[in-house]
Amino acid sequence: MPTTTEKRAAFRRLHEGGCFVIPNPWDIGTVRYLQNLGFKALATTSAGFAWSRGAADGGVTREPMLAHIAELATAADVPMNADFEGGYAHAPADVAESVRLCVATGVSGLSIEDYTGDMAKPLYDFDMAVERIRAAREAIDKEGGDVLLTGRSEGFIRNRADMGETTRRLKAYADAGADCLYAPGIRTPEEIETVVRAVAPKPVNFLMGFPSDLTVRDLTRLGVRRISVGGALARSAWGGFMRMAQEIAGPGSFKGFADAAAGGDIVKGLK
């Protein structure tokens, strides 16, 4: 098992060139399966974990989320990035304290987003959003500085799809100390290229959580450095579960079990 320091160094190297996929497990079993497939890094999914707790995305508070992140970071032989939502705080000083606690879990990276939690006013005011990223950066630096910080601008997934404002925020987050930039919700090659150019030479994370003809090779050509899938793997698992449960509860059929994974194959993938 690599040390935390070794995993953090490996995570930073992954961001120096090329493109890699960073899928999102939600428990120890999915961590082990994904790393055994050869993925070089993993990331938590706040949504996937929340659903496993019977809550909506954003419905898990800081302490259980920190425990979850620590469990996955400890279980992984590869770097683990934390989907740390908005830092579980509003004020920059409180974001800094949350980030300090997250760093202590052993993660190799974490993200801070600019979503307020209020869809009536979904994004923090520009200056406040930048100060929150700066506070996160300072908290990481006080703890050693080797955890990679991702700055997220949420406009495209919060009904505020303004490319000019999105790139303005991402560039400011880069200047405030974000190592990687992320605008979940952008989809088209034109949008991707615009974001990549705006923050260059900083790396960009792209969220592929929807059916698309775009491949890893395509995204590499567009300049994406890191591809995550957010809650999409968890939604895929829930999709199979829901379809089969509804089939049993409704027509009373069990034919759908033909598509279920064999227990032996699952165990084999965990070793």
Residue 243 lies in a domain: no
Residue 269 lies in a domain: no
Q: Give me the helix-helix angle, 92-103 and 62-75, nearest 10°.
A: 30
Record the tokens describing residue 271, joined without a space: 């070793």
Q: Which domain holds residue 86?
A: 4-237
Residue 93 lies in a domain: yes
146 contacts 9 by C-beta, under 8 angstroms? yes
Residue 139 lies in a domain: yes
Task: Give the residue ranges of the chain where pLDDT is below 70.
Answer: none
pLDDT digits (tens, 9 = 90+) for 175-199: 999 999 999 999 999 999 999 999 9
**pLDDT in the model for residue 36:** 97
Residue 260 lies in a domain: no
Residue 253 lies in a domain: no
Residue 171 lies in a domain: yes
Q: Which CATH number belongs to the domain containing residue 158 in this structure?
A: 3.20.20.60
φ and ψ of 266, to 5 deg:
-65, -50
The domain total for the chain is 1
**pLDDT in the model for residue 143:** 93
Residue 119 lies in a domain: yes
**pLDDT in the model for residue 271:** 86
Q: What is the 3-state secondary structure (H, E, C) of the chain?
A: CCCHHHHHHHHHHHCCCCCEEECCCCCHHHHHHHHHCCCCCEECCHHHHHHHCCCCCCCCCHHHHHHHHHHHHHHCCCCEEEECCCCCCCCHHHHHHHHHHHHCCCCCEEEEECECCCCCCCECCHHHHHHHHHHHHHHHHHCCCCCEEEEECCHHHCCCCCHHHHHHHHHHHHHCCCCEEECCCCCCHHHHHHHHHHHCCCCEEEECCCCCCCCHHHHHHCCCCEEECCCHHHHHHHHHHHHHHHHHHCCCCCHHHHHCCCHHHHHHHHC
Distance CA 52, CA 54 (A): 6
Global pTM value: 0.95
Which conformational region is residue 262 in: left (phi greater than 0), alpha (psi within -120 to 50 degrees), or beta?
A: beta
